[in-house]
A and B are shown apart, each in its own frame.
Chain A
Amino acid sequence: MNDGLDLRHDVLDAQLVDRHRENIGRCDTVMLELRDGRPPRVAAILIGGAVRDERIGRWMQALRRLVHRGEARSDGVSRIPFAAVQSIGDTIQVDVLRDELPSENVERWLAERVVCHIPGAQRKQEKQKR
């Protein structure tokens, strides 16, 4: 890791990979902890869910509310502590596992309900499992 980091240029919207170098999405925002008399600490990286919708715009937030109307489901935001960042380069590698992230719920749902019905997808999934 370099000494200096430009949070917007180097971190925001950067591709994130887990400890097995599998893509886990882009950095939708960085949480800064504002502390009295001390410099703001880079606390965590957030991916997906309501955070992404907020950056896209109000129409996306409204669409999300409409889709999840009456449902008490999690907001689908993955919070990764910045201490879990292992390296920053073309991609940012973090010490987490893709399957444990709430932001992967949509991907999992699509894989199980939609993608697996596409001819040839089953074989690819089997290959990935191997």
Chain B
Amino acid sequence: MSREVPLHHLLGRTVRDPHGRTVGRVEELRAAIELHDRGNDYVVTEFHVGSFGAIESVAGPYFARQLLHRLGRFAPYSSHRIPWDRLDLTDPRNPRSLDTVEELTAKQRARDQQ
């Protein structure tokens, strides 16, 4: 079964982990081309979730991400990339990460080190 949801209903929503702790807000949705027999479609591959969602949306994703990354030493800024299959959108107004905050942080750290 499928249903439709407008993008602006997802953006800015607070994402919580399985323990109910806040991971951040949905800032961006990354899409990529999926090829199939009848042609191709764009599908969402990952959700970018950040703790300063509103600032990022006003200042622009790239500038703000760089600025907040530098400020991260002074302010507890964190951002996570959650793959589509690790985010439960059963209730799109209350998205839930299937990974805990610690697991997401560890994954993000591993990505940063690469």
A residues in contact (CB < 8 Å) with B:
1, 3-9, 12, 29-36, 38-43, 46, 51, 54-55, 82-83
Contacts and interface: CB of A to CB of B under 8 A. Distances in A.
B4 A31 contact: yes
Given A12-B7, A42-B43, A83-B41, A6 B61 contact: yes
Given A8-B7, A12-B8, A33-B2, 6 more contacts: A3-B33, A5-B32, A9-B28, A31-B5, A40-B43, A40-B44
B31 A5 contact: yes
A119 B33 CA distance: 50
Contacts of A9: 28, 60-61
Contacts of A12: 7-8, 11
Interface of B: 1-8, 10-11, 27-34, 39, 41-45, 57, 60-61, 84-85, 89, 92
Given A5-B30, A7-B31, A39 B44 contact: yes
B2 A36 contact: yes
Contacts of B60: 9
B1 to A, nearest CB: 6
A34 B8 CA distance: 14
Contacts of A5: 30-32, 42
Contact of B2 (A34, A42, A83): A34
Contacts of B61: 6, 8-9
20 contacts: A3-B32, A5-B30, A5-B31, A8-B7, A8-B11, A9-B28, A30-B6, A31-B7, A32-B5, A32-B7, A33-B2, A34-B92, A39-B43, A39-B44, A39-B84, A41-B34, A41-B41, A41-B42, A41-B44, A82-B41
Contact of A6 (B8, B28, B43): B28
Nearest to B3: A34
Contacts of B39: 83
Contacts of A8: 7, 11, 27-29, 57, 61
Contacts of A3: 32-33
A4 B42 CA distance: 9
A83 B42 CA distance: 9
A38 B84 CA distance: 9
